[in-house]
Amino acid sequence: MFVHDKTGRLYSPVTTKSRNYLTISMSEPSSYSMDQAYTEIIVVRHGETAWNANGRIQGHMDVELNEVGRQQAALLADRLSLEPEISAIYSSDLKRALETAETIAERCGKFEVIKDPDLRERHLGDVQGLLFREAAKVCPEAYSAFSSRRTDQVIPGGGESLDQLYYRATSSLQRIGQKHTGERVVVVTHGGVIRALYRRACSNRFRGNILNTSVNIFHLSGNDVWTIKAWGDISHLNPPGHAMSGLGGNKTSG
């Protein structure tokens, strides 16, 4: 097993961790037979949008991929097409995730993408649509709630708390895991959701960045144990033997 830095270059040891970044990456496609005792779920974040690039808060706002995001999705699809025996592809029903999932599905065998609204990003209330750099001034109360570390803090304007997001996201992945025991599936979702899934597997909040089209692999066992087998892999955006693509994944979640 190898890891990569923010440029996608592979190296060892197995893990690397800092205040803003942690990755465990796949050195080659999985070749082993699936163990019937668990489900392997390849959880990926959608490709980049114009709002990601501009630093605008998305939440439930239905923003499409930009051209960089479409290129990222195509490279991700090429990577996942090497994974054997993918049984199903699930996605948030928001356009940025769904288009990413449909690109993967086309490359991996023309799957029909299963849409699940519970895989949507966190509803961010009154800060949705605002630029990060302006939100504190435009909606101070909502921005304060959005920035709060309290997991039960809801956001004015219909926004969810982190606890509400956690329950919604982890329940969705648990249902998928139970339905596909002994299989490998792909889930396309959002940065906030992936943070919630990390919290379920590791019992703490992930403090770093969830990059666009990053690959994160979870094993869900029948005895309700979640294990992270790979985290933050973006090596597909800068494949070995190619010049740096410049598609290294935006650092804002959404």
Binding residues for substrate, as ranges, are 45-52, 96, 149-150
* Residue labelled with tokens 């304060």: 144
**Residues in contact with 132: Cβ distance below 8 Å, sequence separation at least 6, in sequence order:** 55, 56, 57, 252
**Residues in contact with 160: Cβ distance below 8 Å, sequence separation at least 6, in sequence order:** 122, 123, 124, 125, 154, 168
From 40, 83, 102, 121, active-site residue: 121
62 vs 95: CA distance, rounded Å: 6
Closest CA to 220 of 167, 184, 166, 169: 184
Give the residue numbers of the binding site. 45-52, 96, 149-150
22 vs 35: CA distance, rounded Å: 27
From 4, 40, 46, 180, active-site residue: 46
46 is a catalytic site residue: yes
In this structure, are residues 186 and 106 in contact, taking their beta carbons and an 8 Å threshold? no
60 is a catalytic site residue: no
204 vs 91: CA distance, rounded Å: 24
CA-derived radius of gyration, the chain: 17
Q: Strand runs (DSSP E) across the chain, as ranges?
A: 3-4, 10-11, 16-17, 22-23, 38-45, 86-91, 114-115, 184-189, 215-221, 226-233
The structure tokens listed for 156 are 């004015």
Give catalytic residues, as residue numbers.
46, 121
